[in-house]
Structure 1
Amino acid sequence: MNWRVGMGYDVHQLASGYRLWVGGIEIPFEKGSVGHSDGDVLIHAICDALLGAANLRDIGYHFPDTDPSLKGIDSKILLEKTMALLRSHAYEVGNIDSTICLQLPKINPFIPNMQTALSGVMKLDLSQISIKATTTEKMGFVGTGEGISAYATVLIYKV
Structure 2
Amino acid sequence: MNNFRIGFGYDVHQLQEGYEFWLGGIKLAHEKGAVGHSDADVLIHVICDAILGAADLRDIGFHFSDTDPQYKGIDSKILLKEVMKLLRNNGYELGNIDTTICLQQPKVNPHIPLMKQCLADVMEVKTSQISIKATTTEKLGFVGREEGVSAYCVALIQTKEN
- TM above 0.5, yes or no, is yes
Alignment of 1:22-61 (within 5 A): 22-61=23-62
State the shift of 1:64 in Å: 0.4
Name segments (4+ residues, structure 1) moved above 4 Å: none
**In structure 2, what is the Cα distance between the partners aligned to 1:126 and 1:80?**
16
User: What is the aligned-residue identity percentage?
Assistant: 66
Deviation readout 1:119-150 (Å, 9 max, x if unpaired) = 00000001000000000000000000000000
RMSD: 0.3
**In structure 1, what is the Cα distance between the partners aligned to 2:106 and 2:128?**
25
**In structure 2, what is the Cα distance between the partners aligned to 1:81 and 1:67?**
16
Q: TM-score, normalised by structure 1?
A: 0.99
**In structure 1, what is the Cα distance between the partners aligned to 2:75 and 2:150?**
18
State the shift of 1:25 in Å: 0.3
Report the 3-state secondary structure (helix = DSSP H, G, I; strand = E; otherwise coil) of the residue aligned with 1:64.
coil
Alignment of 1:8-157 (within 5 A): 8-157=9-158
State the shift of 1:78 in Å: 0.3
**In structure 2, what is the Cα distance between the partners aligned to 1:69 and 1:5?**
30
The one-letter amino acid paired with 2:93 is E
State the shift of 1:19 in Å: 0.4
**In structure 1, what is the Cα distance between the partners aligned to 2:134 and 2:41?**
15
Task: Give the aligned length.
Answer: 159
**In structure 2, what is the Cα distance between the partners aligned to 1:128 and 1:39?**
23
**In structure 2, what is the Cα distance between the partners aligned to 1:51 and 1:95?**
13
Deviation readout 1:60-110 (Å, 9 max, x if unpaired) = 000000000100000000000000001000110000000000000101000
Deviation readout 1:15-39 (Å, 9 max, x if unpaired) = 0010000000000000000000000
Report the 3-state secondary structure (helix = DSSP H, G, I; strand = E; otherwise coil) of the residue aligned with 1:138.
coil
Report the 3-state secondary structure (helix = DSSP H, G, I; strand = E; otherwise coil) of the residue aligned with 1:10.
strand
**In structure 2, what is the Cα distance between the partners aligned to 1:25 and 1:124?**
17
**In structure 2, what is the Cα distance between the partners aligned to 1:84 and 1:48?**
14
Q: Unpaired segments of 5 or more residues in structure 2?
A: none
